[in-house]
Amino acid sequence: MKAAPFDYALAHDLDHALTFLDQYGMDAKLIAGGQSLVPMMAMRLARPEWLIDINRINALKRIELTSTHLTTGACVRQRDVEYNEPVTRALPLIKKALHWVGHQQTRNRGTVGGSLVYADPSAELPLTALLLDATLHLESHQEGARSLLASEFFMGPMFTAVSDTECLTHIDWPIWSGPRVASAFEETAIRKGDFAMASAAAQLQLDANGRVLRATFGVGGMDGTPRVFPQLAQQMVGLTATEIDLKAIAQEAVQDCEPGNDMHCSSDYRRHLARVLLERVIDQTLQRALAQ
């Protein structure tokens, strides 16, 4: 399983990378950690003529934390987020998501941006981005800098809004400040570290009386992209934990999805699984928030 031949260029900075993309367009692919791309190339499912290495561009590696946002450069390694205490304190959901991403060897190389651009429908970081309404920043020479919400970014299985001449530069992850914010992330795979058969995540905030102030939840692996349910989440606002009909919410959410069939997982079982996981994460989140 040797990759098809290609040429390689190490981009010194973003401008350099974008120039290559201008020149080679569809024939070029950006590579950061390569944890998804290299196996695809080994199987000759991806065969770019040019590989543009952006993994050494410092500008793409910044981690910045404010009271409202976490900003991660696209080439920030997953492990650098995972082991960054201030970050994971401010945004526990991202650490919970990363817990399920592959294995330590893959997180040592894999990047936050890489997982988002690869856009596997069952991947953890895309679900998290969608859940938190993250903003993804792209740049190209032709169009300059532009920003997309996660909901605009993920378009289909392994398919995003990134054009051939664009590079994802950084991601802003909104932070929910204030008391009684809790989150949960669950997934079921046959082995830990495998692609999820289905996953579910939730984040919510309760007020002093235990009523939902705001909520967001979603599922992965249930459609062409991860799915979040803002309207259903909105219906939870103002309710206490006991007033929330978890079963009904989860049922309605998964009904709205079109899960696929594969050798490990029929669409019926996937639907069942997502429903169970969604109930669990919302319940866990409520319990955690109440306990605070």
Which 3 state secondary structure label does DSSP give 47? Answer: coil
46 binds another protein (CB under 8 A): no
Number of alpha carbons in the 13 Å side-chain half-sphere of residue 161: 15
**Residues within window 266-285 making contact with another protein, judged by CB under 8 A:** 266, 269, 272-273, 276-277, 279-280
| Alpha-carbon span 135 to 137, nearest angstrom | 7
**Residues within window 59-88 making contact with another protein, judged by CB under 8 A:** 79
Q: Which stretch binds another protein (CB under 8 A): 35-43, 116-124, 160-168, 216-224?
A: 35-43
DSSP-assigned beta bridge partners for residue 171: 72, 136
106 binds another protein (CB under 8 A): yes
193 binds another protein (CB under 8 A): yes
Q: Which stretch binds another protein (CB under 8 A): 5-13, 142-150, 171-179, 221-229?
A: 5-13
End-to-end CA distance of the chain: 52
Rounded to a whole number of angstroms, the minimum distance from the CB of residue 76 to another protein is: 15
Give the number of residues in contact with another protein, rule: CB under 8 A: 49
Q: Which is nearer to another protein, 54 or 175 (CB)?
A: 54
Q: Locate all alpha helices (DSSP H) within 83-169, ordered by sequence.
A: 85-90, 92-98, 104-109, 112-118, 124-131, 150-153
Rounded to a whole number of angstroms, the minimum distance from the CB of residue 268 to another protein is: 8
Exposure string (b/e) for 160-173, b if CB count within 10 Å is 16 or more?
bebeebbbbbbbbb
Tokens at residue 151, please?
């909901």
55 binds another protein (CB under 8 A): yes
Rounded to a whole number of angstroms, the minimum distance from the CB of residue 119 to another protein is: 17
From residue 84, how far is each of 24, 68, 81, 99, 166 by CA, in Å? 36, 17, 5, 13, 28
157 binds another protein (CB under 8 A): no
Q: Which is nearer to another protein, 7 or 15 (CB)?
A: 7
108 binds another protein (CB under 8 A): yes
248 binds another protein (CB under 8 A): no
| Alpha-carbon span 50 to 80, nearest angstrom | 28
From residue 202, how far is each of 55, 71, 122, 222, 278 by CA, in Å? 31, 20, 15, 15, 8
Number of alpha carbons in the 13 Å side-chain half-sphere of residue 73: 16
Among 72, 188, 199, 285, binds another protein (CB under 8 A): 188
Residues 262 and 222 sit within 8 Å (Cβ to Cβ): no
Rounded to a whole number of angstroms, the minimum distance from the CB of residue 37 to another protein is: 9
Among 12, 25, 43, 247, binds another protein (CB under 8 A): 43
178 binds another protein (CB under 8 A): no
Rounded to a whole number of angstroms, the minimum distance from the CB of residue 292 to another protein is: 26
Residue ranges that bind another protein, judged by CB under 8 A? 1-8, 10, 31, 34-35, 38-39, 41-44, 51, 53, 55, 79, 102-106, 108-109, 188, 190-195, 197, 262-266, 269, 272-273, 276-277, 279-280
